[in-house]
Amino acid sequence: MTEQNSIFSLQFILLCLSSFLFFSSFNMIVPDLYDYLTTLGGGELKGLVIALFTVTAGLSRPFSGKLSDTVGRIPVMIFGAAVCFVVGFLYPLLSSVWAFMLLRFLHGFSTGFKPTGTSAYIADIVPNHRRGEAMGYSGLFGSLGMAAGPSYGPKITAWFGLDTMFYTSSVLAILSVLILVGMKETLPEKQPFRLALLRIRKTDVFEPRVINPSILFLLTSFSFGAALTLMPDLAISVGFDQESKGIFFRYFVFSSLLIRILAGKISDK
């Protein structure tokens, strides 16, 4: 696999499309989550909406990474998308703030698993000397999904109601793995799942060589998370209405689209 020169195989294109659908799925609900939480009586807990989601995604990554290297890339992707699918149907059934927070906590497992399996699969099928470029393209489609979801989520809510928006999120999540049907597992020696694989050792979560880039990513993500939490309220305060506030997200993500491909190619050189 690593001897080929092209990265644009059918597998790679489908994975990029899958990332677009998946990131659209869980991001399209973000603009309306805060209003929904306010109607439940938890307006002062808006910061936790992002925090709980992110904490679970972070806690689950050591497990998803280990399972991706043992059970397989595809099962990890399927599990992440399945969580997103189920959670989307449960949001409309909530009637309390703490039930909402619990569901948001569980929703984070989706981003802890699906992108991990996708990244590992891409690394398997692209040549080593173009891996940065491939990750750039993959990130491009993820960012497009992050832009498209919040842009159209509020429109769906305005036209068809909040419940329909949640259900649409679920449909996109399951489509993100259905388009991968027929793809072969790239892990050479798969193992059947067993509980022992969930035992995480220090070496599974700590690698001294990635401390510096991890700190850099932590600081960057902290800034991104703070901005993301305040965006919906800020959009309304500067004049956007309920339906059009998703445009604010579109411009926010657009800047990253301009640089990803270029940055990926530069990193390979």
**In whole numbers, what is the pLDDT of the chain averaged over residues?**
83
Q: How far apart are the first and last CA of the chain?
A: 20
Distances (CA, A) of 76 to 138, 174, 179, 240: 17, 14, 15, 39
Nearest residue to 19 via CA among 268, 260, 263:
260
Cα–Cα distance for residue pair 156/152, rounded to 1 Å: 6
Nearest residue to 139 via CA among 264, 53, 252:
264
**Residue 204: inside a domain:** no
Summarize pLDDT for 204-256 with one digit per residue, the tens: 777 888 889 989 988 988 888 787 778 777 888 888 876 666 677 677 777 77
**Residue 222: inside a domain:** yes
Q: What angle do CA 172, 152, 163 make, to 5 degrees?
A: 65
**Residue 3: inside a domain:** no
Kindly report whether the global pTM for this prediction surpasses the value 0.85.
no
Residue 201 is predicted with a pLDDT of 82
Instruction: Calculate the CA 161 to chain-centre distance.
Output: 24
Average pLDDT over residues 182-204: 84
**Residue 190: inside a domain:** no
Q: Which residues span the domain enclosing 262?
A: 10-184+211-268
Cα–Cα distance for residue pair 103/226, rounded to 1 Å: 21
Query: Which residues are within 8 A (CB) of 116 and not within 5 positions of it... i.e. 6 or more apart?
Result: 61, 64, 65, 68, 76, 80
The domain tally of the chain equals 1
Cα–Cα distance for residue pair 91/110, rounded to 1 Å: 15
**Residue 2: inside a domain:** no
Highest mean pLDDT among 64-73, 101-110, 140-149, 241-250: 64-73
Summarize pLDDT for 112-141 with one digit per residue, the tens: 898 999 999 999 988 888 888 888 888 888
Dihedral over Cα of 248, 249, 250, 251: its sign: positive
**Residue 30: inside a domain:** yes
Per DSSP, which regions of 27-163 are E strands?
none
**pLDDT grade for 2, boundaries at 50, 70 and 90:** very low
**Residue 191: inside a domain:** no
Looking up residue 163, the CATH number of its domain turns out to be 1.20.1250.20
Summarize pLDDT for 89-103 with one digit per residue, the tens: 888 887 788 888 888
**Residue 197: inside a domain:** no
Cβ 54 vs Cβ 108: under 8 Å: yes
